[in-house]
Chains A and B, each alone.
Chain A
Amino acid sequence: MPTILIDIQHEMHTSDGKVMMEVCAEIPCQELLCIFGHSGAGKTTLLRMIAGLTTPHAGTIQVDDEVWFDSTRKINVIPQRRNIGFVFQDYALFPNMSIAEHLSYAQKHPNKAEVDELLCLFELEQLSDRKPHQLSGGQKQRVALARALAYKPSILLLDEPLSALDYEMRLELRAEIIKSHLHLGSTTLMVSHDIPEINELATQVMVLKGGKMVKMDTPNEVFKSHAHYRPLQ
């Protein structure tokens, strides 16, 4: 059940020019933390840094006692060794693989029973032989979540996993995210703009503005002056 310690500085290139990103936070284990903010605030960049897909210019990222990144000690653990599950905004499914093959590929050790269990958990049994191009947006999202869980990650990172879906589908798939978080029993970080979605899913919210963390608290506390965040919706 990892606790994540982040203290990073990173120069981002946004549509408004260069922005200095500075985030210092401790994310306790088993939280479902939503990262909230305007476009260009650094939400996806922060998630990618935790995954090891983007290298911060300076700082540290530590998960429990394990240092994943330390600029002064020149430590930068590659994504393959971070044991994270990442659900991309475009789902990033492999066009050549069926759903069952996605789950098998993601496993550290082949285990057909666990593949069947995940197919059942996400109601994908009937679709197991289908390829990504034969799936709807909602089905792709469920496959992306199931694939991330098949890897048994210690941290689940979700980059706006519902943003490409219509309103009805988003409502339906919120339950899938809670299901994934509970199934994994670990820490989940999710990028979202949607306040009702955050209120329903998150146990904690981190608010980013212009690359800086301005607040981190429960959804009730963060959104009690709801009008302040209305422009984001």
Chain B
Amino acid sequence: MNQEFVSTLLLTGKLAGLTTVILLLIGFPVAYLLAFRRFAMKSVVEAFISMPMVLPPTVLGFYMLLAYSPQHSFGHFLDQYLNVRLAFSFTGVLIASVVFSLPFMVQPLQTGLQSIPRSIREASYTLGKSKFQTFTHVLVPNMIPSIVTAIAMTFAHCIGEFGVVIMVGGNMPGETRLASIAIYDEVQAMNYQAANQYSLVLFVISLVILTVVFSLKKQDN
């Protein structure tokens, strides 16, 4: 097994792992707000969060690339004051991956929170428990299948991501070259054996993750 193959898979795993951890931290508060709070323009916020599910990845990648450019305000700010350039870097790909995978984390968490009867939350409040205590002691333990689904779907989605990554990160070995891009690259070079190795690994990982998700859903039912 050559070193480039291993390092590409490790980089893919690193991106998927970091994206999942970051989204777990962001996803819970966002899902909680969407599940239990009423606020102006809630439908618009929900639509924005769900956009990556219907938007072509290249569209999001294109806008993120523009945002990262020093010719635009966000990229200019980063370049000028923090000396950071996000385009064609691992950090840039990571941020794009977090944005693009947001609905895969938020939607299962939101569904999980909403599936717990309101009286259960209220019972905890009447026992003097704060919203945070209720969240950690009552809500989270009663939505484990939804949490596992959210983690698995986010991780699996990140592993297979192509369009956003190629737009924002390009194909730089050790920096932005992920397994999905390596497959495309190897096919272009007519190196089908290497493409098959990458494909097989992604196929097996995706199959295992989806089997876990469906097993959990079956148990939950």
Contacts and interface: CB of A to CB of B under 8 A. Distances in A.
Give the dominant DSSP class at A's interface: loop
B123 interface: yes
Name which of B117, B128, B129, B130 has the most chain A CB atoms within 10 A of its CB. Answer: B128
Contacts of A194: none
Contacts of B124: 94
B138 interface: yes
Given A90-B117, A95-B142, A151 B127 contact: yes
Contacts of A214: none
Contact of A85 (B126, B129, B137): B126
Give the dominant DSSP class at B's interface: helix
Interface stretch (A3-11, A61-69, A76-84): A76-84
Contacts of B125: 53, 78-80
B127 A105 contact: yes
Given A86-B122, A88-B123, A96 B128 contact: no
Interface string A85-99: 110111011111000
A80 B129 contact: yes
Interface residues of A, number: 24
Interface residues of B, number: 16
Name which of A83, A86, A90, A94 has the most chain B CB atoms within 10 A of its CB. Answer: A94
A162 B125 CA distance: 22
A138 B216 CA distance: 31
Contacts of B127: 105-106, 147, 151
A51 to B, nearest CB: 6
B138 A96 contact: yes
Contacts of B137: 105
Contacts of A81: 128
B121 to A, nearest CB: 9
A108 interface: yes
B130 A92 contact: no
Nearest to A153: B126
Contacts of A79: 122, 125-126
Interface string A146-159: 01000100000000
B119 A92 contact: yes
Contacts of A84: 126
Given A80-B128, A82-B126, A92-B122, 8 more contacts: A79-B126, A80-B125, A84-B126, A88-B119, A92-B120, A93-B123, A106-B127, A147-B127
